[in-house]
A and B are shown apart, each in its own frame.
Chain A
Amino acid sequence: EAGVVQSPRYKIIEKKQPVAFWCNPISGHNTLYWYRQNLGQGPELLIRYENEEAVDDSQLPKDRFSAERLKGVDSTLKIQPAELGDSAVYLCASSPPVETQYFGPGTRLLVL
């Protein structure tokens, strides 16, 4: 069974540029999460989807971050414009109801 797929794996951009990350969850997993992990820290939830509905986006900086999961399967997280402080690893995870999360490999973003 394929795991959570994320692309790109690495991204380097200049500040003020836009960037987008893509996630394809494990087939059948209704719940999808986007996390941000700063160096030396644990993952911090940005947004959680149940199917196509964003049920928890309280930690998403909505002035520059946006996300979508239009058909309740794959998802895109966008930053526009990116700032230096956005440099981090962006993790996508998925889970069936109630159960354990399974993480993708992450996208490492460097904003110069």
Chain B
Amino acid sequence: AQSVTQLDSQVPVFEEAPVELRCNYSSSVSVYLFWYVQYPNQGLQLLLKYLSGSTLVESINGFEAEFNKSQTSFHLRKPSVHISDTAEYFCAVKGGYQKVTFGTGTKLQVIP
């Protein structure tokens, strides 16, 4: 069985401050890892993904995540957040039999 843990349900952070949203997973097989973002009253959008190759992946809006196999983590980071980053962020893992499991989400609240 595979699982995803997002320990922080809410993360408040001041505008222009750095942020890290944590994601840990467990799986008995190799996985693909994803971060999705859900803005208020909108659908899930892919933010970034790790499929293979470089363990550091970046999004177009300044987020990055690093796949750490030994720690089974895929934490999401941004060096300086903006008000528009306020949203809920979901970590997901795709493992055996193409099964996708989502974490419970982390609400990022950027404070002006």
Q: Which residues of A contact B (CB under 8 A)?
A: 31, 33, 35, 40-45, 48, 55-56, 91, 93, 98, 100-106
Q: Which of B14-22, B38-46, B63-71 contacts A (4 or more CB under 8 A)?
A: B38-46
Q: Please give, as numbers and ranges, the residues of chain A lying within 8 Å of B46 by CB-CB distance.
A: 100-102
* Distance in Å: Cβ of B25 to nearest Cβ of chain A: 13
CB-based nearest B residue for A33? B100
Binding site for A on B (CB under 8 A): 4, 6, 9, 32, 34, 36, 42-46, 49, 90, 92, 97-105
**B105 lies within 8 A of A40 (CB):** yes
Residues of A close to B92: CB separation below 8 A: 42
Taking CB atoms, residues of chain A closer than 8 Å to B90 are 42-43
Query: Could you tell me the distance between the alpha carbons of A4 and B47 in the complex, rounded to whole angstroms?
Result: 17
CB distance from B34 to the nearest CB of A (A): 7
| Minimum CB–CB distance for B12 against chain A, Å | 16
